[in-house]
Amino acid sequence: MALTTNDLKNGMTLEITGDLLQVVDFQHVKPGKGGAFVRTTLRNVRTGAVVDRTFRAGERVERAFIDKSQYQFLYREGTDFVVMDTETYDQVNVTEISMGDAVNYLVEGANVTLLKFGDEVIGTDMPSSVELVVAETEPGLQGDRVSGARKPATLETGLVIQVPLFVETGGRVKVDTRSGEYLTRA
């Protein structure tokens, strides 16, 4: 669907010269002399590269339609993730690169929203936080109760985060998927 640069919004995905670019930031500029223009910061959805690009005001751009579909993570097969469509029960192999940061938070049986452009998986839409089991961490020392002290903990997905001293192996913790930080005990 064609739209103009005057209609741009943050988070919108555009198809420009075969690339899928997501609008990170934009600014309408009207200089005292000359025509107005739109200065944008765009992130390539496939590679993650960030580019700055300037458009004339009112210039036509093509909007890319991204489908969101619910899948369930079944298991890993080499470096691929095997997921199942929750409506049709079709199984799909998704590369680790396409999964993005979701690889740090997915356990078998977890639901994940895949972002697709046509048949191509271009990313995931994760909830803001997930609950994971602490697979390994050092025990906190008796009497060592320094306020705010942290220790490393390896989660069931292999992700290593900093947790408070009272968290033990086998405990469940809530982790922020945007920053990868410990939030609270679950």
Alpha-helical (H) ranges within 25-146 are 96-99
Q: Which is nearest to 186 in space by CA: 177, 174, 170?
A: 174
pLDDT by residue (tens digit) across 88-119? 888 989 888 888 888 888 888 888 899 888 88
* Under 8 Å between Cβ of 119 and 129: no
- Asked if pLDDT for residue 143 goes beyond 70, the answer is no
Domains of the chain: 2-63 (2.30.30.30), 67-125 (2.40.50.140), 129-185 (2.40.50.140)
In the prediction, which pLDDT does 18 show? 83
pTM for this entry: 0.71
- Asked if pLDDT for residue 147 goes beyond 70, the answer is no
Give me the half-sphere count of Cα atoms (radius 13 Å) on the Cβ side of residue 178: 3
In the prediction, which pLDDT does 79 show? 87
- Asked if pLDDT for residue 141 goes beyond 70, the answer is no
